Structure 1
Amino acid sequence: MKILVTVDGSDISSRALKFALKLAKQTATASIAVLHVDAPVFPGVERRIGKEAVESYHADNHEHAFKAARKAVGRSQVTIEEIRAVGDIAETILAVAAKRKVDLLVMGSHGRGAVTGVLLGSVSSKVIAQTAIPVTIVR
């Protein structure tokens, strides 16, 4: 079983990863890929601050998300693969899931920018609406 977990550094995404780890332990052949998608900078920003500054910005955001993910993995015996991407978040999640032919997508109900506990996040909603892959939403 191939499991793709999306993370953004939030507590909810850490809970989603912990859920996927429990699931993987129950399935001897499971593999987990952890994906962080960083939204692109606004048009014109790269021209003003430079390509290296934008790359550094994305690298810092990726590291923040994966630091929390590594902490969630802790001492588990499950090996994870880290995937970094920049682009439209929902579209990139769908593209990576399709390209890797994952069996299950696990994600948090909302990300860092959402109002806690109010509604299913816009990224989660878009992913659910546009994929045939089973999706587990963790709150």
Structure 2
Amino acid sequence: MGGLRVIPTRPPKPLPGRIECIEISCKGRSALFPAHLVVTGDRELRLSFDPLDVDQRRELVRIIMGRADAWLPEASKRTDRPLRSFWSLLKNALMLLSIGRQQKKMRLQRMARKLRMRKPARQCRTPSCCFSCASSVS
């Protein structure tokens, strides 16, 4: 799931032991996440999250991103118009069907054009040269 970088507000003290969890507080709520120390520097700590279960992941996303609708502007709420949506869907479906029919019609026209443009079979001069010529003579 990644990790985090912590920049302490006070000068860092030597860590008393091993880090097992980190507590993150936001808007009166706090959550514990399993983590371990990756790098310690003179001004920062870098931690990596240990495997999180689904609830912990959900809580971490809530803390980082805020509410799901917090990023949407207030004025962007539109009224629901189901009949207009259905009409738009119906028009698009009918348009797709008509395009399919037009493509089929164009394909048939191309095939007919190819058949008309074919050269007639060459007629043989002697009746004994092939089966088709021999049958037409008799």
TM-score after normalising by structure 2: 0.19
Quick one: higher RCO (CA 8 Å, sep 6+), 1 or 2?
1
